Amino acid sequence: MEDTRPTLHYFIISDAIGETAQKVAQSSLVQYPSAHKVCHKYNFISNINDLDIALEDAAAHDGLIFMTMIDNEMAAYAERFFNKHQLTYYNLIQPIVDEIGYRINMKPSKIIGAQHELSDRYFDKIRAMEYCMSFDDGKDPKGFEEADIILLGVSRTGKTPLSMYLAMLGYKAANLPLIPENELPEILFKLDPNKIVGLTNRVEVINRHRDARMREYGITSPTKYASFDRIQEEFDFAQEVYERIGCQTLDVSQRSIEESAAIILKMLDLHKHES
């Protein structure tokens, strides 16, 4: 069947990585999960010629623009273009930088991507990412002793993306899937329960996620994996595990990854990497 949904073309335009613009765009667009969205990303723009390419593309697609430009001249050039072509744009950094400078009577450094300078915190994040990938999905539970955070949960509760997000914040996050038929690693009951969080959700939500996963594999007929009875059985097992360990739990059913991560850090009183 032909996709008749309207297409939203949105543009990330930046003289650095474009991470800030990307996050703002995604945080807004996630409110429209069924919409057809196409991202055009132009980052590390360092001259007018490169900027012109991005601007012409945006005009050709009547794009919605999310821009982070530290260079005032290029930002002004882009804004003149957007106004001339009646394009909707959001300059996400420069107005804030200018306002801060006005309030404290200082000029900005104009260092592009300054937040990504190599530092101890940067390398902490790299180490955390490496740890997360090494101990994702229950790989080598012996390494859980090194973890700052250990996430437990049944399949499709979002353990891996949440672990990855926490790692991006600089925390060593491991996770373990809970399956009734699988024996639990002994080390799980020797660890400090204050660094373990059990994830919970609603049966119908997990059912939708699992059905979607099966369809990705080309399986359209009902499966035990996605059945309500099986999911409830796994939830009951997970709850027993959480009670045995004595860990805190978090219902992630109506929370974004960012919100869940913030709650976990507060629950575990972990703020060492926050600025």
State the binding site for ADP.
153-160
Whole-angstrom distance, CA of residue 59 vs CA of residue 82: 8
In 36-135, the DSSP E strands lie at 36-42, 64-68, 89-91
Residues in the chain: 275
Whole-angstrom distance, CA of residue 50 vs CA of residue 182: 55
DSSP 108-138: ----TTGGG---HHHHHHHHHHHHHHHTGGG
Among 249, 240, 251, 252, which Cα is nearest to 267's?
A: 249
Query: Partners of 36 in the beta sheet?
Result: 7
Mark the binding-site residues, compressed into ranges: 153-160
Encode burial over 131-155: b for 16+ CB neighbours within 10 A, e otherwise.
Answer: bbeebbebeebeebeebbbbbbbbb
